[in-house]
Amino acid sequence: MPELPEVETVVRDLVAAEIPGRRICRVEVLHPGVVAGTKPAGFIRRLNGRKIKAVGRRAKFIVFQLDDGELLTLHLRMTGQLHLVKGLCRRDKHDHLRLTLNDGRTLIYHDPRRFGRWKLAKNAAEIFHNLGPEPLDGGLTPAEFARRLARHRRQLKPLLLDQTFLAGLGNIYVDESLFAARLHPQQLAHQVHPAEARRLFAAIRRILNAAIGQRGTTLGLGEGNFASPHQTRGRYLTRLQAYGRGGEPCARCGTPIKRMVVGQRGTHFCPHCQRKR
Ligand SMILES: [Zn+2]
């Protein structure tokens, strides 16, 4: 499932491909289920003819700013992908939405599991009012992050996955961050010492930035695995230290990485380096 680094990679590719500045001259909703909040006819009417002013990211959402002030958002969920193609191409059975641009290119939404959602919004608050701060935003300081942690009596793993606490993290990068900070996934947040909280915050930022530098993580070769608009795959997989490495020796101490279920999510950690108090 695409997390912050993968969504950021998609957004940067769209910006590099000069999607901002293009006008949408044809909207095709091929599977109505991928459009949320509006019937497809209304979605097409509101979107057709709009110019895309900017493309950005908030949490795991791709955000297209339109020239009428509305926002077009896309959440890729499990297997959503955007493909950018020149000219006409045959429709794949997993292509569910197509935006033809005024330069002849088409932005194709491809999603084998069909959990992803497109939504039009009048303003940012309509979609993002519940989201927590961005981990890479300079406005969130280590001290503020530590204060936010101290207010919760929840286990670290589900808390860090909670988008209202912190935006953008998912299963892979939470496991990697807790491993790097040597914190147990079930440690209660309010029991984390301030120095550990700063270590965790630094680990989250370092890992997210490193993953963006590698264009995210692609876990496998299946077509549902992450690929950017130019259909390139993320390279961070080989750098993962805990996620998906159950049974392999910990890079720090050699103890086999353990897999357990925390908050209904498969969780990987080192039982020696990440002790619960
Ligand atoms: Zn270890």
Cα–Cα distance for residue pair 189/168, rounded to 1 Å: 18
* d(CA 257, ligand 1 centre) in Å: 7
- pLDDT tens digits in sequence order for the chain, 277 residues long: 899 999 999 999 999 999 999 999 999 999 999 999 999 999 999 999 999 999 999 999 999 999 999 999 999 999 999 999 997 778 899 999 999 999 999 999 999 999 999 999 999 999 999 999 999 998 999 999 999 999 999 999 999 999 999 999 999 999 999 999 999 999 999 999 999 999 999 999 999 999 999 999 999 877 778 888 877 899 999 999 999 999 999 999 999 999 999 999 999 999 999 999 8
Altogether, the residues listed in the chain come to a count of: 277
Which of left, alpha, beta for 207 (phi over 0: left; psi -120 to 50: alpha)? alpha
What is the CA(50)–ligand 1 centre distance, in A? 53
Closest CA to 43 of 24, 21, 20, 59: 24
Distance from Cα 248 to the centre of ligand 1, integer Å:
10
Among residues 12, 46, 233, 265, which one is catalytic? 265
- DSSP string for 80-91: -EEEEEES--PP
pLDDT confidence of residue 220: 83
pLDDT of 227? 84
Q: Phi first, then psi: what are they for 56, rounded to 5°?
A: -145, -170
Gap from CA of 207 to ligand 1 centroid (Å): 18
d(CA 168, CA 142): 17
Confidence (pLDDT) at 133 = 97
Query: What pLDDT does 232 receive?
Result: 84
pTM confidence score: 0.96
pLDDT for 91 equals: 87
- What residues contact residue 192 under an 8 Å CB cut-off, 6+ apart? 146, 149, 150, 156, 183, 200
Quick check: is 2 catalytic?
yes
Given 50, 60, 119, 199, the catalytic residue = 60
pLDDT for 225: 86
265 catalytic? Reply is yes
Are residues 229 and 18 in contact, defined by beta-carbon separation less than 8 angstroms? no
The Å distance, Cα 188 to ligand 1 centre, comes to 20
For residue 87, the model assigns a pLDDT of 78
